[in-house]
Amino acid sequence: MADRLEGQKKPYRALIIVLCILTILIAILCYGYYQVFYAEKIILTQNSPNKINQIEIRVRGQNAFFSNAPIRIHYGKVGHIRPYIEERIINDGKNLHAENFDFNWVTEDKVSITLKGEEQEDKTLEITFPD
């Protein structure tokens, strides 16, 4: 009788082990997918000359398969950065750094940002901060 119960427990134990291993593998794959395509990393933060307005440039995801990860330019009052503009910089699949961006504060509420990449012409964006 005891042998019969022991024989019935083995398949369930193996099934539980397989399910635990599959759960761990799925969690690792989901984390990797999130890091490659969705995780945002702050590249650069820039304050206006009067320290009231702020721009934060973030890259979303990573460069995968020689594609270029999109950047998001968040802007607003210091501590209340909400809206963003999404752009791409064609940089030959290389990571983006602070050197890829130039800031020129026209006024306290208006900034000109130049986006520089290896395989593109410099692109200039004008951002006017809302009141």
Q: pLDDT per residue over 31-83, tens digit each?
A: 999 988 888 899 999 999 999 999 999 998 877 666 787 899 999 999 888 88
Q: How far apart are CA 59 and CA 65, in angstroms?
A: 16
pLDDT for 65 equals 65
SS (H, E, C) 5-41: HHHHHHHHHHHHHHHHHHHHHHHHHHHHHHHHHCCEE
First to last CA, the chain: 80
Q: What is the pTM of this model?
A: 0.76
Q: What percent of the chain has pLDDT over 90?
A: 54
Q: How far apart are CA 26 and CA 29, in angstroms?
A: 5
For residue 23, the one-letter residue type is T
In angstroms, how far is CA 38 from the centroid of its own chain? 5
Q: Single out the residue of 81, 85, 86, 94 nearest to residue 120, CA to CA.
A: 94
